[in-house]
Chain A
Amino acid sequence: MTVRQADFLMAIATILMSLGLMWSSTDGLAIGWVSGKGPGSGFWPFWLAVGMLLCSLATLVRWFLRHTPESRSTEIYMSRSAVVVVGTSVGALIALLVGIHIVGTYFALLAFLLFYLKVIGRHEWPLTVMLVGGIPVFIFSLFEWALQIPLPKALTEEWFYPVFDIMYETDYFWMYILGSFLFLGAVSLALHKFLPGQDR
């Protein structure tokens, strides 16, 4: 697909988007000027969406007239390698979100990081182990412990009960967190020593 074709498709997409927004704005809302009260509740979104439609039509006209650089460009919109690189990342992110709904944030993060660092990044094991273990521990200690923002845990909810027991019923939880980081560091150092990486 060339940039010119993509520009045309995007203009069509924005036209459809504008029409969809216009249609949503009329759903039970007054899009007109209510006498003595000013604009109705649908006025703002509806007429702005009309503006979006006009802009999209202008883009389309300029596309036909070849006024913009994009409408003249015959370069490839996304090269095959770009599709692969971006596609795997987006795919991995979608899998991560689906995973959060099923196995909860922390285990989904584990899988995502493992995939990203080892399969895409091809990093050596020590670094991978360090980050795959360290980032969820860091996120947990920051969100659940320090900021008290519970992240979704879905099916693994009850697995965390013992962690909460330690967290709230001992006064030294920070030592566990520190310990886990030190442990991960030690493991990765050890692995690094015995399994020298490729790209160092």
Chain B
Amino acid sequence: METILISLAGGLLQAFEPLNLMMIVLGCTVGLFVGAMPGLGSVNGVAILLPITFLVPPTAAIIFLAAVYYGAMYGGAISSITLGIPGASTAVATVFDGRPLAMAGKADQALTAAAIASFIGGTISVVLFTLFAPPLADFALKFGPPEEFALMVLAFATFIGLGGDDIPKTIFSILIGLVLAAVGLDIISGKPRLIFFDASGFLHGVNFLVLAIGIYGIGEMLWTLETTGGKVIVHKVKMSVAGFMANIRSVRTYIKSTSLGSVLGYFVGTLPAAGATPASLMSYGLAKTFSRDPDSFGKGNIAGVAAPEAANNAASTGSMLPMITLGIPGSPTTAILLGGMIIWGLRPGPLLFTERPDFVWGLIGSLYVANLFTVLINLAFIPVFVRVLTLPFTVLAPVIFVLCIVGGYAPTQTMHDVWLMLLFGVMGYLMRKLNYPVAPAVLAIVLGPLAERSLRQSLLSSQGDVLIFVERPISATCIALAAALMLYPLFLAWRRRREAAAGDSGSHPGASG
């Protein structure tokens, strides 16, 4: 414990060296703005800045890149809330409640909640990182394919209740997301699958962002165009110091789901395969399941913004752990960070902690400082971001369309994906009008590849025996938790019905699937 504190103090001192501090401030700001662009995420910011980091020492460089990573995590929430387009897959769950809040003129509340929750998530996870890095690295090693699959089952279980009230249409939406996730090369058999019309663009699969930007960017814009008839809509946003302080104080309304999301996010983030996206989705699902007022989720509940934001920041810290101790990237961004470390001659692995403590503790120290700076920078810019919403809609719509098009192009740099995005946007719009929920499809496409792969890896190693999932302690625990989560809404419905038995017994048995 004492050694940890001494090392941490050293790391913090290192973070406050002028060069490193400059790197943190610059990195946070760059990350914040790159992350706020739809389709662009931390991966773009980190990738482009990697060559620049040849000019500074490795510790300063990794601090800079980590600050970009952190800033982008905060920034992702900004486009989710103000434009309704998830800036990155990690910010999808933020759209569910962030967008309704912004439409109701409460964008400043949502943005403040996102920033504060991110700060809490970042802080909790950095503390956990400091205290439990080595034991958790061992725990991450115990996570094989069966455990990964069980975790995915658990993730799906937390989404129960995210769908609409039309069960066949909700299941349809989940399934189409899972099938789209199977497009591309199957790594298990090495065969290309579902290459429609022999278009080579399908070989890389259907990118998550293509579906998300299509549905939430283009589809949402078309929906808004129809409802407003293309007329000018201007949101009035009042910004005042008193309002700002009230927004800060409202933290107590979502502190519970935020803390839960932070811890959950950190643990899910440390698992090499999972990363921040499932963490934020699970956190949202849990916040809704255990909320006193689950029906308000998706309609503008502030906890629905805070919970996923806390989790994705916590997970982004968490995913540094497998990167440092196992050399395994939890996300494309950490993959590039990892490449950076290797280029600087730092070999990630079990020995890095002992052989290069200056580097590791410098990084940890900088995470504390970066977190603090990002929240301050973010809060300072909220009035600017909120003003976006006051633009007339006929100005905002073409700008958003343009951002969607270039944002859909950026991740894979193929026009194929841009066309696909437009198709998804129009389809999503048409189906949404008929009460097909779209969120389940977006969630499924994120988790689908991981779920299928881990399922088939497990069954390969067990020679096709499905009992492998319940024979191993960690996976059995996850499956049991998943079963409990799936039964929980039924239990609530049963209890509600019993309580209401005296009164009107004709109530609907809840919106669960």
Contacts and interface: CB of A to CB of B under 8 A. Distances in A.
A–B contact (CB under 8 angstroms): yes
Contacts, number: 179
Contacts of B415: 97, 100-101, 152
Q: Is the interface of B mostly helix, strand, loop or mixed?
A: helix
Interface stretch (B222-230, B270-278, B356-364): B222-230
A91 B102 CA distance: 28
A36 B430 contact: no
Nearest to A8: B434
B473 interface: no
A148 B169 CA distance: 42
A85 B229 contact: yes
B488 interface: no
Contact of B168 (A38, A59, A85, A112): A59
A162 interface: no
Contacts of A25: 193-194
A36 B194 CA distance: 25
Contacts of B40: 147
B138 interface: no
Interface in A72-109: 77-78, 81-82, 85-86, 89-90, 93-94, 96-97, 100-101, 105, 109
B333 to A, nearest CB: 14
* Candidate in A59, A69, A120 with the most chain B CB atoms within 10 angstroms: A59
A62 B409 CA distance: 40
Interface in B426-464: 426, 429-431, 433-436, 452, 455-456, 458-460, 462-464
Contacts of A38: 455-456, 458-460, 462, 464
Interface string B166-190: 1011011001101100100010110
Interface in B402-421: 402, 405-406, 409-410, 413, 415, 418-419
B433 A85 contact: no
Nearest to B462: A38
Interface bin, chain A: 35 or more
Contacts of B413: 149-150
A49 B434 CA distance: 20
* Candidate in B34, B45, B186, B221 with the most chain A CB atoms within 10 angstroms: B186
A147 B48 CA distance: 6
A60 B267 CA distance: 43
A95 B28 CA distance: 38
B401 A21 contact: no
A57 B202 CA distance: 28
B398 A113 contact: yes
A62 B399 contact: no
A39 B456 contact: yes
Nearest to B183: A45
B179 A55 contact: no
Given A38-B460, A85-B226, A96-B405, A127 B194 contact: no
A81 B228 CA distance: 11
A100 B401 CA distance: 14
A41 interface: yes
Nearest to A121: B394
Interface string A19-49: 0010011001110011111111110110011
Given A39-B456, A121-B395, A147 B44 contact: yes
Interface residues of B, number: 65
A34 B463 CA distance: 10
Contact of A112 (B175, B402, B418): B402
A44 B226 CA distance: 37
A42 B193 contact: yes
Interface of A: 3, 6-7, 10, 14, 17, 21, 24-25, 28-30, 33-42, 44-45, 48-49, 51-52, 55-56, 58-59, 62, 68-70, 77-78, 81-82, 85-86, 89-90, 93-94, 96-97, 100-101, 105, 109, 112-113, 116-117, 120-123, 127, 131, 135, 139, 142-143, 146-152, 199
Given A49-B175, A142-B37, 14 more contacts: A21-B179, A37-B460, A44-B178, A52-B176, A59-B172, A78-B433, A97-B419, A117-B394, A120-B394, A122-B394, A131-B398, A147-B48, A149-B409, A150-B413
22 contacts: A3-B434, A28-B191, A30-B189, A37-B459, A39-B455, A40-B189, A41-B189, A48-B179, A51-B175, A55-B169, A58-B168, A68-B435, A70-B435, A77-B433, A82-B226, A93-B422, A112-B398, A113-B398, A131-B399, A139-B402, A152-B409, A152-B415
Interface of B: 34, 37, 40, 44-45, 48, 166, 168-169, 171-172, 175-176, 178-179, 182, 186, 188-189, 191, 193-194, 196, 218, 221-222, 225-226, 229-230, 232, 392, 394-395, 397-399, 401-402, 405-406, 409-410, 413, 415, 418-419, 422, 426, 429-431, 433-436, 452, 455-456, 458-460, 462-464
